[in-house]
Amino acid sequence: MQKYFVWPLLVLTQTCFCQKFKHVDFFPTRYYSYFSAKSPVALHILPGDTIHTGTIDCNGFDKHGKKPDTTATSNPLTGPFYVEGASEGDVLAVTFHAISFNRNYATCIEYFHPRSLPSAITKQFENKFIESRWDIDVKNSMITPDKRYEHLKNYQVHTAPFPGCVGVAAKNGIEISSEDAGETGGNLDFNRVTKGSTVYLPVYHEGALLYVGDGHAAQGDGELNWSALETSLDITFSLQVIKHKKIGYPRVEDNVYLMTVGLDSSLDNAFKIATKGLLDWLREDYHLTMEEATQVMGSSIEYKITEVVDPKVEIAAMIKKDALKGITK
C-alpha cells in the first residue's frame, strides 16, 4: 500500500505516471466549491485503481470537527481526480466499495424548504437555520437526534452513509456549483449512491476530472430540511472508462435497480428526462422496440423524488433488475 498527499502536486503527478497503482490512500488538503476543469489536478488515476480518500461535511468541518484551511464554502469537494484514458465522448463508471464514518456525530437544521410544504408552514422557518446535532452509534449503525427534542428521546434512524456530491467537470467550460447538479452529475443527494452502487457520468474533458464530497449519515427523499444528516466520511471507490459511449444524464446501478437521473428547474421536466434516460438504457442494453418498452416500463417503473431544495430538482426513474430477467436479448 502506498500513500500520497496532495502537495506537492508536481511530484505526485510525476510519480503517478511512472507507477501502476492497485490501491492508493489519498489525503486531501485542498477542497473546491465548483465542479470545474480549471482546478489543479489532485491525483492521476489509472482505470482499475482503488482509491481511499476522505471528505469533509457540507459546512467545511472535518473528522476532528475543525475547518481545514480552505476557501471552499458549502459542500467542499475532494478532487479533481484525473482518470488516465478518459476523454470526451466516453463514460466514467464510479463504483463505491466502502463508505464509512470517521467521526461520531452529524448535524442537521430545523427547517422546511419553501418547495417542500405550503408557505403557511415554511414561513415559520424563514431565515431561521437552527442547527441540531445527531449522535452516530457506529457499532450498531444507528443515529439519534439532539437530546433537546422532548418527543424524540427514543427516536433513532438507521445510518445510511453516502456522498451527496459525485460529478465530473461540465462541458463548454461551465463551472457547476457544489450546491447544484447537471448532466455531468454534481450535488445529486441521491441516497442510493452508496456502497455497492456504480454511478455512470458522461465525460467532456480529458481525464474526466472527478469530484466527490458532501458526506451524509442518512437522508430522506427530497432533502426537505435543506440539510441531510451531514457528516464527514471515508470513501473507497474504483473507476472504469467506457469508451465511445454517450449518455445524457447520470445513471446509477446497484444489485437491485437500474436508475436514471433527471434534473431541471421543473419537476415535470425532470420527470421526463429521468424517464427518457431509462428508456434509452433499456433500448440500448435490452434491444427493446419502442412498443416493447411501453409494456416493460408501464408495468414496472418506479420513481424517487431525490432532491427538491437545490437549484435543480431531481427525480430518479428506477426499474428492478428482477423485472428484466424475462427479456430475450
- The CATH number of whichever domain residue 36 belongs to comes to 2.60.120.580
Pick from 240, 233, 256: nearest CA to 164: 233
Q: State the Cα–Cα distance between residues 138 and 311, nearest whole angstrom.
A: 33
pTM exceeding the 0.85 threshold for the entire prediction = yes
Are 113 and 99 members of one domain?
no
Extended beta strands in 282-322, E state:
302-307, 313-320
Are 298 and 180 members of one domain?
no
Taking 50 as the pLDDT cut, the residues of the chain under it are 1-18
Q: Is residue 110 part of a domain?
A: yes
What grid cell was written down for 149? 427534542
Provide the mean pLDDT of the chain: 92
pLDDT at 22: 83
Are 14 and 85 members of one domain?
yes
Are 226 and 169 members of one domain?
yes
| Domain end residue (candidates: 113, 143, 158) | 158
Are 203 and 263 members of one domain?
no
Look up cell 470545474; give the residue: 36
What grid cell was written down for 169? 467537470
Work out the angle at residue 323's Cα, subtended by the Cα atoms of residues 248 and 271, and round it to the nearest 5 degrees: 35
pLDDT at 329: 75
What's the domain range around 97?
Answer: 2-103+160-242
Looking at the structure of the chain, the number of domains it has is: 3
Q: What would the pLDDT profile of 231-253 be if each residue is shown by its tens digit?
A: 999 999 999 999 999 999 999 99
Are 67 and 54 members of one domain?
yes
Length of the chain: 329
Q: Is residue 250 part of a domain?
A: no
Q: State the Cα–Cα distance between residues 178 and 89, nearest whole angstrom.
A: 23
- Report CA Rg, the chain: 20
Percent of residues, the chain, with pLDDT higher than 70: 93
Are 270 and 307 members of one domain?
yes
CA quadruple 306, 308, 311, 317: dihedral sign? positive
Are 181 and 237 members of one domain?
yes
pLDDT at 16: 42
Q: What would the pLDDT profile of 27-67 be if each residue is shown by its tens digit?
A: 998 999 999 999 999 999 999 999 999 999 999 999 999 98
Are 23 and 77 members of one domain?
yes
Spatial contact of 205 and 168, defined as CB atoms under 8 Å apart: yes
pLDDT at 10: 29
DSSP structural state of residue 55: -
